[in-house]
Amino acid sequence: MTLTHRGPLIGRASVFAAAVLLAVGVANGQSTAANNPSLSPGYSSSQSGLTEFASLAVPAAPAPSSAAGGGSAEGQYGQGGGSNGQHNGFIRNRSWTFEAGGGFNAPVNNVKSGVVPSGPIKVITWGGNFTLGGGLRFNHRFSVLGEYQFMADKLPAALISTINTATGGTAGITAGNTHINSITGSPVFDLTPKRTNGIYAVGGFGWYHKSTNFQTPEPQFSFYGYYYENVTVASFTSNQWGLNGGAGIYHRLGGGMYGGDVGHTQIFAEARYTFIHTPPVTQNNGLGTTELIPVTLGVRF
């Protein structure tokens, strides 16, 4: 009997103890969920993983500071400066260049058959010139200029005498001159592009207009009375091609015009052999080819 009554009692006690333990476990689980939001209802482990990945992939931006601001500004200025540097480099490497100068012309012993029976004779003598030019400087070594040059030379006394002799003295020529206008394209090669004092080679090819004028003295009147002045009584002209070539020396003035280390402004002195394909003596408007050496001093910038 005793065993029979104790069996049900122990079973009831076991069930009651299990219920108490289950209630305590549920209460502890709810408390833990309330304290940890990551375990709250509606939160998933996949969302937690994405959030953690996003926090690692996109780090928080650092707080701006004065040094950072200055660095950013400097970086933007550097980019702007780089662009400006490229622009300046373009201007420096492909920029306009101009020149102006003047000097004298030295004649070359031209051989002209038929002018005088005894042999050759010069058809021009000493004179002067001035030159204006402008073009593009492609880099420190190479430029191309379009040049206008005017050269004025006297006619030699031997040529004047020959003409008077040929006309029996009726021409009465006492003087004469030659005027040459030219427009040429001239490449310039700087052989020492980074030196203050240097040398260069130059050449040219283009159009030449030559006018040969013969003069005789005629009386003129002024406030002081009569006087004689040489007046052109005959002339002839011709248009033809010509070429030139030579070398020069220069001295640079100051630093680089566009911020570089090489100055563009320079004073120069050059000499060029010039050949003009003027008509031969057998033609009415020709004395044969013209050769001379213009020596020019000037400035180029």
Asked whether the whole model's pTM tops 0.95, one would answer no
Q: How far apart are CA 102 and CA 293, in angstroms?
A: 13
pLDDT digits (tens, 9 = 90+) for 43-93: 444 444 444 444 544 555 555 554 444 444 444 433 444 444 444 444 445
What is the rounded distance in angstroms from the CA atom of residue 281 to the CA atom of residue 3? 162
Region 225-252 average pLDDT: 92
Residue 68's SS3 state is: helix
What CA–CA distance (Å, rounded) separates 88 from 205? 32
pLDDT in tens, 247-287: 999 999 975 444 445 567 899 999 999 999 988 877 777 78
Cβ contacts of 172 within 8 Å, gap of 6 or more: 164, 216
pLDDT higher than threshold 90 for residue 185: yes
As a whole number of angstroms, the distance between CA 273 and CA 247 comes to 9
Q: What angle do CA 82, 83, 88 make, to 5 degrees?
A: 95
The pair of three-digit structure tokens given for residue 216, joined into one six-digit string: 């005789």
Distance CA 270, CA 299 (A): 11
| Model confidence pLDDT, tens digit, residues 121-168 | 778 889 999 999 999 999 989 999 999 999 999 998 888 888 888 777
C-beta atoms surrounding 159 within 10 Å: 23
Cβ count near 232 (within 10 Å): 13
Cβ contact 100:298 at 8 Å: yes
Residue 267 and residue 299 in contact, taking contact as beta carbons nearer than 8 Å: yes
CA-closest candidate to residue 298, choices 261, 257, 251, 260: 251
Q: Which two three-digit tokens encode residue 52?
A: 């953690």
